[in-house]
Amino acid sequence: MKLYLIPLLVLGFHMSLGLITAQAAEGDLKQATFCHGFKDDQSPKDVAEFFSQTEPVYLSIELKGRPKSGVVAAKFMFRDDQIAEAKVDVATVNKGVIFSIGEDTFVSFDMKPDKPLPVGACYTVNVTFGDKELGVFPFRVAPPKDSIPSKLLKATLAKGTDDERKPVGETHDFAAAEKVFLVGSGSLGLASWLEATWTVNGKVDDAGTRSFTMEENKDAVPFSFSFIPAGGWPAGTHEVSLQIDGQEVAHEKFTVKAGAPMAAAAKFEIESSQLFSDDGNGEPGKEVKSFTTDDTELHARWNLKQAVPVKGVQLVWVLLESEDAKEQVLATADVEAGVDDQIDSSLTVKDGLPAGKYRIDLVQDGKVLDTKNFKVK
C-alpha cells in the first residue's frame, strides 16, 4: 500500500465561445493552454508555466470551428491515478448559434484542490472529444518559494543503519530472510517527497512502497528505506528505485542467491511475550510485569519459535477496567510485512495511563492469536 496520499480534489468546469477569425475542420484541436484564469469568452488569461500547491489548475481547450455535437472530457492524472474528471457536451454551447463562420470554440476546465497538491512534474490532463483523443498535456506543481532545491547526495544498499542513519554492511548480495536497506542523504526542500519502490523478480511489490514529505528545508539530511517481502526474498535479481518529487534519482539492483525455503510452509508459533519499560530513548529497556501511571512509553514483544512470514498482523491495546473510564480500544498498530521471529509494539501516552487492567491482542487477518494482560499501578 502506498503511503503517499493524493489529496482530495474538487473539479469545476466552464465553457464558452470565443470569436476567433481562423476557421478549420470541426472537431480538431487547435490549442491547449494551461493558465491562471479565463477571460470573459473563456479564452486563456495569464499563461501558466507551473502552478503552486494550492491554486486552481486552469486548462483552456480550443477547438477548430463549431462542432454541433460531441462530448469533450478531461481527466486530471497524478502519475497513473485519476484525481478528477469533467465532461462537457459542446451541443449545449453551440445550440442556437447562426453565424459560425470564422469562429472557434473554447472548452475550459479548472481543478480546485482542497488540499495542497504534491510538488513535481507528475501531472497530466488527458483530453478526448467523443471517441478521439485530443492529447495528453503535462503540467507541473512547483514547491513553495522558500523551498531549497532538492537533490540526492548519496544512495547505497546495506544490511542496516547505525544510530546516525549511516549504512552498515554495504552490499548488493543479500540472504532470503534479510531486510534490504536503501540508505542515503540529500538536500531536501520544503514539501519535497521521497519515495522508494521495490521490484521483486521484475514485478513491483506495492507492499514495499514507502514515502515521506519534508516539512522543512534540510541540507545533507540522512534517510533510509527498508523492505523484505512477505515470505522472504525469492532467488533472483531484485531492484529498488528512489524518486524525489516523482522523478527517479537512484536505481539499485541486488541479488539473492538462495530463496526463502520457509515462505509457504512455516507455521506462526508463539514462544513467549514480554513487556518492557522505556530506556529513555523510545526503545525497550527493562523487562517488567506491569507499568506505572508515570510510564509514557510502553513496549510489548512477542517472540516466535522461528522466523516466519509476518503479514496482516496488528497489535491492539485495550483498556479493560479503570475507575474513570469504560472498556475501550486505545490504539491499533499494523506490523510491517516481512519475515521475522519477533514482533514489537509500542504505545505512547502523553500523561501516562490511569491505574487499571489492560491487555494487548496480537491479531492476524482479524483472528486473535494471543493476548497479553497487564496492570497499570
What's the mean pLDDT in 296-302? 93
The answer on 136 and 87 residing in a single domain is yes
Task: Give the model confidence (pLDDT) of 189-206 as tens digits.
Answer: 999 999 999 999 999 998
Listed residues 256, 284, 305: the one ending a domain = 256
350 and 314, same domain (yes or no): yes
* 117 belongs to a structural domain: yes
Give a yes or no: residue 279 inside a domain. yes
Grid cell listed for 222: 540522512
Quick check: 10 and 54 in contact, CB under 8 A?
Answer: no
Same domain, 14 and 77: yes
CA dist 230 and 2 (Å) reads 16
Q: pLDDT class for 319, splitting at 50, 70, 90?
A: very high
Same domain (yes/no): 240, 304: no
Co-location of 25 and 125 in the same domain:
yes
Say whether both 111 and 16 belong to one domain: yes
Each residue's pLDDT tens digit, 169-194: 999 999 988 899 999 999 999 999 99
Same-domain pairing of 136 and 184? no
**Residue after which a domain boundary falls, among 233, 256, 279:** 256
Highest mean pLDDT among 23-37, 102-116, 243-257, 272-286: 243-257
- My answer on whether 173 and 232 are in the same domain is yes
Report helix, strand or coil for 177.
Answer: coil
Query: Is residue 200 in a domain?
Result: yes
Q: Is residue 265 part of a domain?
A: no
List the CATH number of the domain containing 290.
2.60.40.1930
Q: What is the pLDDT of residue 114?
A: 86
Instruction: Calculate mean pLDDT across residues 354-372.
Output: 91
pLDDT above 70 covers what percent of the chain?
A: 88
Query: Which of 109, 141, 173 is the last residue in one of the domains?
Result: 141
Tell me: do 239 and 277 sit in the same domain: no
- Asked if 88 and 121 sit in the same domain, the reply is yes
Q: Strand 173-174 vs strand 247-256: parallel, antiparallel, or unpaired?
A: parallel
- Looking at the 3D structure of the chain, how many domains does it have? 3
CA angle 166, 167, 173 (to 5 degrees): 175
Looking up cell 503540467 gives 139
Structural domain contains residue 3: no
- Give the pLDDT score at 26: 42
Task: Return the CATH number at 20.
Answer: 2.60.40.10
Q: Is the pLDDT assigned to residue 328 strictly greater than 60?
A: yes
Cα–Cα distances (Å) from 369 to 260, 275, 375, in that order, read 24, 17, 21
Q: How far apart are CA 206 and CA 211, in angstroms?
A: 12
3-class secondary-structure state, position 92? helix
Residue 123 counted as domain residue = yes
Within-domain flag for 348:
yes
Amino acid at site 204: V
* CB-based contact 55:61 (threshold 8 Å): no
Chain CA centroid to CA 52, Å: 20
- Residues facing residue 213 across a β-bridge: 193
* Of 350 and 123, the one with more pLDDT: 123
Structural element, H or E, at residue 44: strand 44-47
Q: What long-range pairs does 318-325 form, CB within 8 A, spacing at least 24?
A: 318/358, 318/359, 318/360, 318/361, 319/353, 319/356, 319/358, 320/356, 320/357, 320/358, 320/359, 320/373, 321/356, 321/357, 322/354, 322/355, 322/356, 322/357, 323/354, 323/355, 323/356, 324/354, 325/354, 325/356
Q: What is the pLDDT of residue 94?
A: 59
Q: Percentage of the chain surpassing pLDDT 90?
A: 57
Residue 312 inside a domain? The answer is yes
Answer for the pair 213, 120: CB distance below 8 angstroms, yes or no. no
| pLDDT surpasses 90 at 245 | yes
Q: Which residues of 198-221 are buried (b: 16+ CB within 10 A; e: fewer)?
A: bbbeeeebebbbbbebbeebbeee
Based on the fold, state whether residues 239 and 303 are members of the same structural domain.
no
What is the residue type of 141? V
Cell numbers given for 124: 497530466
Residues 56 and 180 in one domain: no
Which domain, by its residues, includes 314? 270-376
User: Minimal CA–CA distance to 136: which of 220, 208, 59?
Assistant: 59
Cα–Cα dist 53/217, whole Å: 17
pLDDT at 21 over 90: no
What is the C-alpha to C-alpha distance for residues 311 and 230, in angstroms, rounded to an integer? 6
Place of cell 519499560: 277
> Average of pLDDT values for 313-332?
89
